[in-house]
Structure 1
Amino acid sequence: MSEAKLTIKIDNTKPVEIMDFTDSFKSLGSQYYKFLSESEYFKLSKTTKFYIKEVRTGSIITELTDLVPLVIPFVENSNSVIEFSAFLKLSYDYLLGKTDAKPKEFDITDCNNLNNIIKPVAKDKGSNMVFTGDFNFGDVTIEMNFNSVEANAIQNAITKEKELLKEPELNKKTKMLFYWDSAKYNSKSKAIDRGIIEAISKSALKVEFENENIKSKMLDIDFNPFHMAYVVDVEIQEIKDNPVLYKILELHDQFEQ
């Protein structure tokens, strides 16, 4: 049995929507497992989970604990619940601007979990959420609490974090008609691979390939490649919204023009 527990108390002013409550604890469990899987100090098993030990009346008070000894033997004085509680506190302190220390580079899953965990209080003006991580034996206690204003501030910060994570969308087109303008047959050739996809641009653009096998299929044929048309999937790279390069991703078909 674990010697540590995480107690969560929700002082709500109105009934908590069941989906918000379940999303909160589902995301808490998800983030706990993710935290352990990324840590060098703990090892996971199929039974690694966060368990609700007790739900008390009055305010919504929930005690959670792990029932599996996860700590690697050579790491002393470490406990998964306490380490996870410390991670949560540092994450929320960072998102509230209380510290510049970021516990890790958040990914989308981190952002969604951290957002959902505090959802019940973010939606309830005047409510409060208290997290307390402590040992049954020892002096270690980690406590954090948020009111609805702070919870909303955290969610706004998470939205900004997610914006930073967004990758630019690749402009991909499928089954486009392509034909050669010029082609570099070997390393000694001074020619440049250029091709035309009239549906995108009337100009010949530089061409790259997802892999060399695609290029070989387009050039190493019994017919003159410059008399052929090719059906390809392509990624279009642009500068200032103008196409400048085609990256051929897949060849579907080819036929004489």
Structure 2
Amino acid sequence: MSLLGINQQYQRFIESETNQDYDASTELYIKEVRTGSIIVELVALAMPIAPLVWSGGSLSEWTTQAKAVIDWLLEKMDTPPKEVSKQDLKQWKNILEPVAKDNGSQLNFTVSDGGTVINQFFINPQEANAAQNTIQRQLERFEEPDDHTQKNKIMYWYQTKFDTESHTGDKATIEDISKKPLKVIFENTQ
């Protein structure tokens, strides 16, 4: 799930940074497996325009953004470097999971061109745990009901009575707000 999350975050970066429909196919290749280590290469394929869009290449730019997201999750920055969705948070939680669970591990992001390192950062287990705690708090905020009006949301009736004196019934589910059926009170009951 960690490797899949890295791939998905890179794909999302390409989609959000380009204003045209680029077919950003990426592949994860296992470069080396040895005791206690897995070295993976993320390779961008079939994107001839990418070097023209980003100096240093799209992987280098994505690594810069990934580092900024990690810094935000470690509360080194007040605001995220980009809009972060619930799905993004879940993917970052998956990316950090192996390092957070293993006190002797480390996650290294290195972008290189041949033997020259272009961009690099590391995440240790303490940072991974701290970032996951921030992710959990952020995910809980997504679950909190909003204080403002929701529009164009699908509502499924769970139970109806249409009795203004009853304290039971008239429940519905709006999945974007809550997975559980909630009491429905209509503003205009006439």
* TM value normalised by structure 1: 0.55
Is 1:54 aligned to 2:17, yes or no?
A: no
Instruction: Give SS of 1:63's match.
Output: strand
Amino acid at match of 2:145: P
How far apart in 2 are the matches of 1:164 and 1:245? Answer: 26
Report if aligned partners of 1:96, 1:154 keep a CA contact under 8 Å in 2. yes
Structure with bigger helix share is 2
Residue 172 of structure 1, CA deviation:
6.1
- Give the letter for the 2:83 counterpart: E
Q: Which residue of 1 aligns with 2:160?
A: 176
**2:101 is aligned with 1:159:** no
Q: Are 2:165 and 1:202 aligned?
A: yes
Alignment length (residue pairs): 170
CA distance in 1, matches of 2:188, 2:101: 47
Q: Which amino acid aligns with 1:161?
A: Q
Classify the secondary structure of the residue corresponding to 1:52: strand
Distance, in Å, in 1 between the alignment partners of 2:81 and 2:103 is: 29
C-alpha separation in 1, matches of 2:44 and 2:69: 21
How big is each residue's C-alpha offset from its partner over 1:76-103, in whole Å with a ceiling of 9 and x where there is no partner? Answer: 5252211211111110011112233521
Residues 2 and 94 of structure 2 are in contact (CA less than 8 Å); yes or no, is this contact kept in structure 1?
Answer: yes
Q: CA deviation at 1:163?
A: 1.9
Return the alpha-carbon distance in structure 2 between the equivalents of residues 33 and 100 of structure 1: 25
1:60-209 counterparts in 2 under 5 A?
Answer: 60-69=38-47, 71=49, 75=53, 77-136=55-114, 141-168=118-145, 173-174=157-158, 176-177=160-161, 197-198=162-163, 201-202=164-165
Task: Report if the CA contact (8 A) 1:111-1:162 is conserved.
Answer: yes
Query: Is the alpha carbon distance of 1:70 and 1:53 closer, same or farther for their aligned partners in structure 2, counting shifts above 3 Å?
Result: farther
What one-letter code is carried by the residue in structure 2 that aligns with 1:123? K
Could you tell me the TM-score, scaled by structure 2's length? 0.72
Bigger-Rg structure (1/2)? 1
Distance 1:43 1:85, change over 3 A: farther
Deviation per CA, 1:157-200, whole angstroms, max 9, x where unpaired? 111111222252899634624xxxxxxxxxxxxxxxxxxx11xx
CA distance in 2, matches of 1:100, 1:30: 25
Contact 2:99 2:128 in 1 (8 A): yes
Task: Tell me if the contact between 1:48 and 1:66 (Cα under 8 Å) persists in the aligned partners.
Answer: yes
Identify the structure with the greater strand proportion: 1
- In the TM superposition, structure 1's runs of 4+ consecutive aligned residues that sit over 4 Å from their partners are 169-172, 232-236
SS in structure 2 of the partner of residue 49 of structure 1: strand
Q: Which residue of 1 aligns with 2:179?
A: none
SS at the partner of 2:42? strand
Corresponding residue for 1:228? none
Question: Does structure 2 conserve the Cα–Cα contact (< 8 Å) formed by 1:127 and 1:148?
Answer: yes
Confirm or deny that 1:44 pairs with 2:22: yes
Contact between 2:69 and 2:81, CA under 8 Å: does it hold in 1?
yes
**1:103-126 superposed Cα distances (whole Å, 9 cap, x missing partner):** 112111100111101111111123
* Amino acid across the alignment from 1:168: P
Structure 2 unaligned blocks of 5 or more = 175-182
Q: CA deviation at 1:36?
A: 1.2
In 2, distance between residues paired with 1:242 and 1:233? 5
